[in-house]
């Protein structure tokens, strides 16, 4: 019975959490960072994490290290949770107090440009908002009510005549020009002196006041106080955070601590105690009912809105995909007309559709697949929060009557496999051959997407099923990686057996260790990427080399053999008719082999792969003979590779999946 009870208990708890979420005051935002640590990225969001980062106990809103060019940088950092400025029924604007410590270290003399505390409708950083713009607005959005941003600026450079001096605080509303600015020189504060400047911003719903003190003494001196109706300029929910910029005058813009206390203007008017007394028992009863409900209806159809908060949960982020009604999607796809079918995967069928005169791809998840609503939510939230030019964009979703649907952007050229495999034998000669340059760009695009999934987004995401049919091609043949998140769901199917069934993936793309460790890792993704590279260059399926009596990884064995015989170029797709640069081609093939190294510790990471592709890094060494697969795999020795990752002075056994 145990295996049956566990998921039900989990579902009930999940429901309880959702209901709890529904009842807790949403607008209330309070936090206290007395310093910053890397793990705080779970609460803080760096708009561009190559620019902004947590380092040395502080948020560096613009960077100071790693040989980055400091010139013309601009960044924004926000708390992930939005602050509710006003409630629908209650009216009035929420009050808040926030205290933070700034530390600005000039890199040029004088430094530039400054940092600001911001309340913004939109997380996005306006393009080209470096220099005088402080990441607040840019030349287009400056002065426009569409900017929807209020900032308290700490300006360290007099960048235009209206700027008072190079050491002032100002209040900016939708503009880089301050409504009011005050020089800090008179208060004995020098922003650009590499010392801690403590700032308190108080908003009581009517007036905004700014207090500043150097060296953290006392409560600070009132430097600025102005009447301000925030709800006149900002939407109901805002992001709070910091923005900063440099120009050719540069400085390190740091925030070393940050406390925020916001009022609750939720629509609840009940006194707090009453609220607790009513909701806690109600919550318990609801949990009981929910638990009972799930016991009863384990395998039966679930009513549509059993999870009242799912939509809210998904909608939480400002860039979240949209929810569609089943009706709309039926209409868009001609009631899932087989004529509109684009393809069929293990997971469901994809239809072409028209929504608001735009072509879309609608994936209808098979009803008989065993995945549940939670996995569906995981998919939607994961994909919805990932944004990269080389990832297929999720536009929306629908969950109705046990129908799970995902709406993606439409990829006019379909999937890559149609182009690279030699279909002549299959009598399909329609697809044009992709030239070398196009193939190179496709590989680079996939590498960028994978690097983003592994290293670039908030939480590491493993793709788990990289293969040619999951690479979609846009109208210009640029590659977009699709179907991420799905493999994880497919994986759930074999759960009751502790066999290789648990492993998601496609034979031919699976790293040799997959069968032993029974899970996906960063390294197994990289292996599959390596196989993909070889396929794209050779125009062959990964496992169909009849000439060798190889079992699984045909293409890898075949190529390694050619590599040993120094005839690797023989592998290149004959349809390229020799039109390619040989050096680049060899580099690509050897890189593919490096990714398919039997020892996962020897595979390059995606960062290195990208650097090799751009020529910034040399090819990793690849032995002439394919090393045999040994398990457990030995880590590389220190001598061989000084860059090997060390975790707590121990060699990391495997890259950990940090979940998502
Ligand atoms: C924030 O946390 C620090 C250390 O945990 C504590 O000393 C400080 O009083 C807290 N500040 C506020 C305003 O709660
Ligand atoms: C982040 O900043 C880097 C360095 O300025 C830039 O090259 C990159 O395009 C930025 N990324 C985004 C998503 O804006
Ligand atoms: C902000 O601080 C003031 C005085 O320190 C206090 O009266 C007020 O209640 C605080 N407001 C909030 C929302 O914490
Ligand atoms: C200002 O930012 C917006 C949004 O990022 C962008 O569309 C616009 O082109 C930018 N303007 C300039 C002058 O860069
Ligand atoms: C920015 O906008 C303000 C109006 O808010 C305008 O007065 C000013 O000229 C603009 N500045 C620049 C540099 O465009
Ligand atoms: C807001 O500030 C103005 C001027 O600084 C002052 O006259 C007024 O009393 C303040 N209002 C509140 C509610 O504090
Ligand atoms: C603030 O502005 C909003 C929207 O313009 C308005 O509804 C509200 O009455 C204003 N509040 C005050 C105190 O003026
Ligand atoms: C940054 O700008 C300064 C001044 O124009 C220039 O001297 C310096 O070389 C620039 N730095 C880089 C890395 O481009």
Radius of gyration for the alpha carbons in the chain, expressed in angstroms and rounded: 28
Pocket lining: 183 vs ligand 7, CB cutoff 6 Å: no
Q: Do domains 310-409 and 417-651 have the same CATH topology?
A: no
- Chain centre to alpha carbon of residue 345: 25
Nearest CA to 624 out of 594, 588, 584, 585 is that of: 594
Highest-scoring range by mean pLDDT, 290-299, 459-468, 556-565: 556-565
Give the residue, by CA position, lying nearest to ligand 7 atom 14. 229
Residue 24 has pLDDT above 70, yes or no: no
- Annotated catalytic sites, by residue? 465
Atom of ligand 3 nearest to the CA of 94: 13
SS3 label, residue 40? helix
Higher pLDDT, 498 or 187: 187
Q: From ligand 4's centre to the CA of 489, what distance in Å?
A: 39
Angle at which helices 606-614 and 582-595 pack, to 10 degrees? 170
Residue ranges covered by each domain of the chain: 1-24+270-301, 27-265, 310-409, 417-651
Give the model's pLDDT for residue 265.
74
**Lowest mean pLDDT segment, chosen from 44-53, 232-241, 329-338, 366-375:** 366-375
Pocket lining: 207 vs ligand 7, CB cutoff 6 Å: no
Instruction: Give the tens place of pLDDT for each residue, 132-142.
Output: 999 999 999 99
Give the residue, by CA position, lying nearest to ligand 6 atom 11. 207
Highest-scoring range by mean pLDDT, 23-27, 93-97, 641-645: 93-97
Q: From ligand 7's centre to the CA of 314, what distance in Å?
A: 30
Say whether the peptide bond before residue 110 is cis (omega within 30 degrees of 0).
yes
**Lowest mean pLDDT segment, chosen from 107-111, 191-195, 228-232, 483-487:** 483-487
Q: From ligand 6's centre to the CA of 180, what distance in Å?
A: 15
Pocket test for ligand 8, best of 248, 249, 250 (most atoms within 8 A of CB): 248
Give me the CATH topology for the region 417-651. Transferase(Phosphotransferase); domain 1 (1.10.510)
SS3 label, residue 8? helix
Higher pLDDT, 185 or 635: 185
What does the block give as tokens for 106?
């000039």
What does the block give as tokens for 453?
């999934």
Contact 232, 204 (CB under 8 A): no
Tell me which H or E stretch contains 476.
none
Instruction: Give the tens place of pLDDT for each residue, 307-364.
Output: 444 455 544 444 577 888 999 999 999 998 888 888 776 567 889 999 888 899 998 8
Q: Options 1.20.120.1200, 3.30.200.20, 2.40.50.140, 3.40.50.720; which CATH number does 310-409 get?
A: 3.30.200.20
| Interatomic CA distance for residues 398 and 186, integer angstroms | 59
pLDDT classification of 216: cutoffs 50, 70, 90: low
Annotated binding site for ATP: 363
Instruction: Give the tens place of pLDDT for each residue, 426-439.
Output: 445 555 678 898 99
Give me the CATH topology for the region 27-265. Jelly Rolls (2.60.120)
Ligand whose nearest atom lies closest to the CA of 201? 3
Instruction: Give the tens place of pLDDT for each residue, 514-541.
Output: 878 877 889 999 999 999 999 899 888 7
Instruction: Give the tens place of pLDDT for each residue, 484-500.
Output: 655 554 443 333 333 33
Ligand whose nearest atom lies closest to the CA of 70? 8
Residue 272 has pLDDT above 70, yes or no: no
Give the model's pLDDT for residue 501.
38
| Interatomic CA distance for residues 590 and 136, integer angstroms | 46
Q: From ligand 6's centre to the CA of 573, what distance in Å?
A: 76
87: which strand partners?
none
Burial class from Cβ neighbours inside 10 Å (0-12, 13-18, 19+) for residue 424 reads exposed
Give the residue, by CA position, lying nearest to ligand 3 atom 1. 97
What does the block give as tokens for 444?
């680079």
Give the residue, by CA position, lying nearest to ligand 6 atom 4. 226
Ligand whose nearest atom lies closest to the CA of 147? 4
Mean pLDDT of 29-41: 90
pTM score:
0.51
SS3 label, residue 646? strand
């Amino acid at each position: 019975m145990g295996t049956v009870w566990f998921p039900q208990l989990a579902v009930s708890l999940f429901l309880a959490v959702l209901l709890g979420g529904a009842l807790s005051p949403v607008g209330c935002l309070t936090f206290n960072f007395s310093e910053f640590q890397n793990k705080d990225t779970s609460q803080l969001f760096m708009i561009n994490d190559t620019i902004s980062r947590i380092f040395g106990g502080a948020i560096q809103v613009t960077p100071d290290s790693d040989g980055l060019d400091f010139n013309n940088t601009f960044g924004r950092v926000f708390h992930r949770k939005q602050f509710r400025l006003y409630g629908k029924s209650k009216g009035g604007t929420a009050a808040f107090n926030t205290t933070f410590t700034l530390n600005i270290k000039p890199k040029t003399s004088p430094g530039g440009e400054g940092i600001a505390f911001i309340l913004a409708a939109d997380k996005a950083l306006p393009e080209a908002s470096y220099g005088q713009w402080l990441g607040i607005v840019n030349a287009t959005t400056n002065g426009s009510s569409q900017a929807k941003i209020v900032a308290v600026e700490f300006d360290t450079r007099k960048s235009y005549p209206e700027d008072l001096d190079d050491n002032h605080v100002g209040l900016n509303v939708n503009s880089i020009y301050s409504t009011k600015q005050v020089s800090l020189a008179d208060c004995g504060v020098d922003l650009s002196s590499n010392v801690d400047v403590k700032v308190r911003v108080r908003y009581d719903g009517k007036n905004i006041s700014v207090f500043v003190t150097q060296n953290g003494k006392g409560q600070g001196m009132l430097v600025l106080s102005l009447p301000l109706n925030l709800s006149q300029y900002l939407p109901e929910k805002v992001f709070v955070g910091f923005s900063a910029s440099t120009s050719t005058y540069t400085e390190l813009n740091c925030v070393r601590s940050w406390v925020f206390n916001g009022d609750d203007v939720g629509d609840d008017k009940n006194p707090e105690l009453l609220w607790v007394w009513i909701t806690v028992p109600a919550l318990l009863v609801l949990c009981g009912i929910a638990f009972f409900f799930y016991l009863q209806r384990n395998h039966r159809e679930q009513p549509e809105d059993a999870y009242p908060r799912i939509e809210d949960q998904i909608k939480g982020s400002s860039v979240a995909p949209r929810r569609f009604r089943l009706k709309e999607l039926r209409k868009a796809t001609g009631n899932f007309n087989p004529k509109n079918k684009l393809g069929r995967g293990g997971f469901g069928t994809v239809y072409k559709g028209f929504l608001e005169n735009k072509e879309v791809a609608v994936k209808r998840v098979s009803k008989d697949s065993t995945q549940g609503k939670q996995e569906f939510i995981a998919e939607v939230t994961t994909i919805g929060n990932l944004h990269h030019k080389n990832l297929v964009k999720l536009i929306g979703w629908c969950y109705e009557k046990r129908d799970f649907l995902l709406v993606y952007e439409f990829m006019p050229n379909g999937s890559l496999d149609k182009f690279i495999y030699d279909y002549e034998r299959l009598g399909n000669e329609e697809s044009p051959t992709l030239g070398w340059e196009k193939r190179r760009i496709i590989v680079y695009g996939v590498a960028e997407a994978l690097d983003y999934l592994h290293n670039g987004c908030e939480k590491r995401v493993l793709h788990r099923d990289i293969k040619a049919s999951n690479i979609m091609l846009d109208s210009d043949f640029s590659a977009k990686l699709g179907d991420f998140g799905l493999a994880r769901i497919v994986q759930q199917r074999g759960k009751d057996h502790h066999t290789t069934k648990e492993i998601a993936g496609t034979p031919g793309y699976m790293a040799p260790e997959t069968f032993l460790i029974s899970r996906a890792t960063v390294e197994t993704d990289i292996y599959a990427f390596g196989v993909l590279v070889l396929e794209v260059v050779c125009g062959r399926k990964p496992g169909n080399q009849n000439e060798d009596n190889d079992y699984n990884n045909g293409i890898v064995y075949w190529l390694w053999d050619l590599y040993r015989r120094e005839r690797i170029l023989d592998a290149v797709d004959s349809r390229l008719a020799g039109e390619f640069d040989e050096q680049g081609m060899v580099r690509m093939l050897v890189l593919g082999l490096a990714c398919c190294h039997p020892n996962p510790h020897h595979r390059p990471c995606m960062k290195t792969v990208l650097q090799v592709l751009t020529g910034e890094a040399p090819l990793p060494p690849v032995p002439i003979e394919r090393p045999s697969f040994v398990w457990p795999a030995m880590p590389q020795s220190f001598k061989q590779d000084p860059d090997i990752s060390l975790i707590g002075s121990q060699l990391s056994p495997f890259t950990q999946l940090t979940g998502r």
